Chains A and B, each alone.
Chain A
Amino acid sequence: SQQGEEDPQALSIQEGENATMNCSYKTSINNLQWYRQNSGRGLVHLILIRSNEREKHSGRLRVTLDTSKKSSSLLITASQAADTASYFCATEGAGNNRKLIWGLGTSLAVNP
């Protein structure tokens, strides 16, 4: 069953704008991870945020985690055409299971 659900399913913006994607999940987690996938390529890890963290930054990426709402957001600032890709969240369930459960992804198109 899907744990993470990304929202929106698809997003189209202009270069230079910010893009925000959200991920909701159902059960307690150890960590939440965001990945990016260019068309037909393997997924690339972006950021891992642990359950005791609230915010993390990496370059133009900002991830927040609200465990009370069981949700996370990925913000890409000053988007570029090269950011066009699908973005997935994955959650590692709390406890010893240590299995990642994946969402269906958000497809982002950044128009030049």
Chain B
Amino acid sequence: DSGVTQTPKHLITATGQRVTLRCSPRSGDLSVYWYQQSLDQGLQFLIQYYNGEERAKGNILERFSAQQFPDLHSELNLSSLELGDSALYFCASSVEPGETQYFGPGTRLLVL
């Protein structure tokens, strides 16, 4: 158990819908990262937050947004969902940017 929690574990929805994925980092970790992992794209870095502020952006689509709240939990919002958004979405946290990241169990999203 990494100490990072993600909810929900599984999500099945339809194209065009919007979903919110939630992540609670390890106690004491200030940085939160979101990743998307699909079979054909591998592990893709989406976005990073540090102490409530956006720190780095990766291959995040405009239809996706995220935020980190004052209690340091984070949410990833995916809207206008497409079939190709079906993937595993991981959250990770670390004490400082660039240091060891601890991954949550992931949310498996299926868009039908």
Contact = CB atoms under 8 A, between A and B. Distances in A.
Nearest to B90: A42
Interface residues of B, number: 24
Interface of A: 30-31, 33, 35, 40-45, 48, 88, 90, 92, 97-102, 104-105
Interface of B: 2, 4, 33, 42-43, 45, 48, 55-56, 88, 90, 92, 96-106, 108
Contact of A88 (B43, B92, B96, B98): B43
A97 B45 CA distance: 15
Contacts of B103: 35, 42-44
A99 B102 contact: no
Given A41-B105, A42-B104, A99 B98 contact: yes
Contact of B106 (A31, A41, A48, A97): A41
B71 to A, nearest CB: 22
Contact of B100 (A48, A97, A102): A48
Contacts of A31: 98
